[in-house]
Amino acid sequence: MKVKQFLIFLFCALLSTSVFAWDLWDEFKAVNVTEEGRVVDYSDTKLITTSEGQSYGMFFALVANDRQSFDKILQWSEKNLGEDQPAWLWGIPDGKKDGQGKILDTNNATDADMWIAYSLLEAARIWHEPKYMSLANKYLAKLKEMVRDIPTIGKVILPGRVGFEDKGIITLNPSYYPPHILRRFAEHDSYWLPVLEGSINAMIRSAPTGVAPDWSKFNAEGVLIDENKMIGSYNAIRTYLWASILSPKDQNYQVLAKLYAPMIGIVRQTNIPPEEVNISDMTVSTRDVNAFGACFLPYLSNEKSGGIIRTVLTASKMKGDNYYRNVLTLFGLGFDYKHYAFNEKGELFFPKVDLMVQGDTPKANE
């Protein structure tokens, strides 16, 4: 057998073994994912499901090589939220588990659409399944309709179809621009390269003090406005996560690490990130959110603060009413334990699998 054929055979064999086992994913499925493929946030009385949750679920299933769950989550989403540009919010108004659910808000959430398109692109590549590629292209076509050109910044994607353009003012959400996703889109279709560049510019311009905001507003001349009202909290926290899991070979890795150095420095001192940071004067809230630490673990993994964050995240079991904590933990510890990573093209790969093939032991084991 030729070497290339043997490697393909070996990889296919690995796909069918427990080498992809991921206990945290199994735990998340048990508390937040129904048998039908609905990712549920039980903290809300309406037992809500968001397109974000569905998109993250698809990505985690891909990382775990759990194709059955991947397909179930995708199928539930397309059936109940819509295809290509799903509604962002679904729930059960009476709050009963056996109650009738429906779409509660027809607007879309662009970040979820991007994560779904990305997961489909990578599923097509990794699982050699053309139908996923076809679906990914449909999502990408809809996303192109959301692209706007801001003077002095460049091309960016609106956070949703409605509500983010008003009298020349455009509202953006920096956490909606995972650089590895836009890099992968650009590798697939050159249309997205200027969008990647514009998005990085928007992230930089939105964080003049080195702290990412939940929302930022730009006027018709591309000038950041209402800076003194900007807060970084539950939305913004993911911005650091996306920057930190970017491939170090990507030219934007160092750019963003330098940009967010002030916020990384705060976490290095406090260990657990604050719930809110005021962008203009860098004042922080007195309440800490331990789940936020997952977003800085890739930056601080080998430091004392990283060890504390890791201990805190692994200290408690997942609960269904802690949806957001659970997904941040999956992202942070999943990367830390080498279940997934991205190359300079934005492609997903599996360091833990590579280590096992080489006969090495991963840094941590769930």
Cite the active site residues. Answer: 52, 111
Using only C-alpha atoms, what is the Rg of the chain? 20
- The amino acid that residue 46 corresponds to is K
Q: Tell me the C-alpha to C-alpha distance, in Å, between residue 334 and each of 61, 116, 216, 327.
A: 12, 19, 29, 10
Q: Give Cβ neighbours of residue 21 (< 8 Å, ≥ 6 apart).
A: 64
CA atoms within a 13 Å half-sphere pointing along the CA-CB vector of 147: 20
Non-local (6+) Cβ contacts of 360 within 8 A are none
Q: Is 335 left (phi over 0), alpha (psi -120 to 50) or beta?
A: alpha
User: Element (H or E) spanning 157, and its range?
Assistant: strand 154-157
Q: At what angle do helices 110-126 and 67-80 cross, to 10 degrees?
A: 140
Q: What are the φ/ψ torsions at residue 218 (nearest 5 degrees)?
A: -125, 140
| Helix and strand element counts for the chain (H, E) | 15, 13
Nearest to 260 by CA among 238, 275, 290: 238
